[in-house]
Amino acid sequence: MNTRVLFALLVVGFLGSAHAVTYSWPEDPNDNVVTEHADDFPFTRTNQDETLLDIARRFSLGQVEIVRLNQDVDRWSVKQDEVVRLPNRRVLPDTPHEGIVLNIAEYRMYYYPPAQAGMPRTVMSFAHGVGRQDWQTPLGLTKVVKKVKDPSWYPPESIRREHAAMGDPLPTVVPPGPHNPLGAYALHLALKGEYRIHGTDVDKIYGIGMQITHGCVRMYPEDIEQLYHSVSVGTPVRIVQQQIKMGWLDNQLYIEAHPDLEGVETTFEQRLDTAMQLIAKANNGVIPELNEAVLIKALTVLDGDPVPIFERLPDMPDFEEEIGLREAAVESTYRLQ
C-alpha cells in the first residue's frame, strides 16, 4: 500500500465521528459534482470487529449505500483492519439548486442553504430512509409547512391495522421519547397524508438508507436535528427519483448510477438509453466520444460511485481579443506618457 493511500486511510478514519457532510461548491459554478476531499480519500480501516452498518452509522451513510460500495464485504462481519470504501464525490440531482432535494433512488437528501453575501456557496448532504414498495414516498414539489420538536405520533388506522395483523398492536398515540418512530424532530410537508421528514427511534436507527418506511423520510437523530435548525417553514422540498445522474467537474463528465428500488426493474438497455439522453443533455445535445468500458461498467455494477466517462478540452482564450486588449493597453500607456 503506497504512502498516499495509507495517509488517506488514517485521515478518513480520524474524521469518522463527523455527521452530515457540507460540500463546498466547485470552483466552476457551472459544475455540478461536489467532492468531500481535495484528494481521493475513499477508504477507512476498521479498528475493531464490527458490521458495515456500524461503519455506515459512524459516517452518517445509509445501509444500502455502504453495502453497494462494498459488494465483496460481508455486511455483518467486518474484521479489524479490513478496508472499507467510503463515498467521496456526488453528482447533484438534476433540479434547481435550492431548498431541500430528496433523491429517493439514492436514499440521499441535498440541502442548499440560502446564499449569503461574502460567503462561499455550499450544499449539505444527508442519508435517509424512504417508503416501502407498498407505501411509496410521493414524488413532486412540496414545501415545509410545520416544524415540531418532540412530536407525538398518532398512528394512522391503516398502520394500526397492519401492526395488529402482525401481532404487534399499536397504541392510539406514542408520546415523545426514545421509542417514538418520529424521533425528536419532524418537518411536516404540504402533501396529503401526513408525510414528514423526521428522525427515528432507537429500534430502527439501522434502517436509515433503506426502503423501509410508510412513506415518510427518516433520518439519523443528529442529522434531522441539524436540518431542523437550518430550514424554515416555507422551504421548498423536491422529491425526485433519479437512478442515473450526470455531471461536470473540471471538464470531466461523470456518471453516477444506482440500483433499482424495490418494485422497479430496469434492464441494461433501458439504463443505457437513459444515460445517453442525459449525456446529450449535459453536452449541448451532442454525444461525444465516450469511455464506453467505464460507462458499461457503471451501468452494470450500479455502486453509486461517480466515475468520469469523457473529458472535454478546456475553453481556449480568444487570442485575437486578447491581442486587441494588449494593443489598447499599450496605446493608452503611450498617450499617458
Work out the pLDDT band at 6, boundaries 50, 70, 90: very low
**How many domains does the chain fold into?**
2
Residues 135 and 184 in one domain: yes
**Catalytic residue status for 163:** no
Residues 102 and 228 in one domain: yes
Residues 132 and 207 in one domain: yes
Residues 233 and 259 in one domain: no
Q: Domain holding 213: CATH number?
A: 2.40.440.10
74-78, 175-179, 256-260: range with lowest mean pLDDT: 175-179
Alpha-carbon span 33 to 110, nearest angstrom: 12
Domain that holds residue 203: 97-241
Catalytic one among 128, 198, 214, 258?
198
Residues 226 and 259 in one domain: no
149-153, 172-176, 224-228, 319-323: range with lowest mean pLDDT: 319-323
In a domain, residue 301? The reply is yes
pTM of the complete model: 0.83
Residues 256 and 146 in one domain: no
Residues 124 and 149 in one domain: yes
Please state the φ and ψ torsions of residue 251, each to the nearest 5 degrees: 65, 15
Please state the φ and ψ torsions of residue 157, each to the nearest 5 degrees: -60, -35
pLDDT single digits (tens) 277-299: 999 999 999 999 999 999 999 99
Q: How far is CA 87 from CA 34, 119, 287, in A?
A: 11, 26, 28
Find, among 106, 108, 105, the residue nearest to 23 by Cα: 108
Residue whose entry in the numeric block shows the C-alpha cell 416555507 = 234
Contacts of 285 (CB under 8 A, 6+ apart): none
In a domain, residue 196? The reply is yes
Residues 177 and 196 in one domain: yes
**Catalytic residue status for 97:** no
Catalytic one among 128, 188, 214, 216?
216
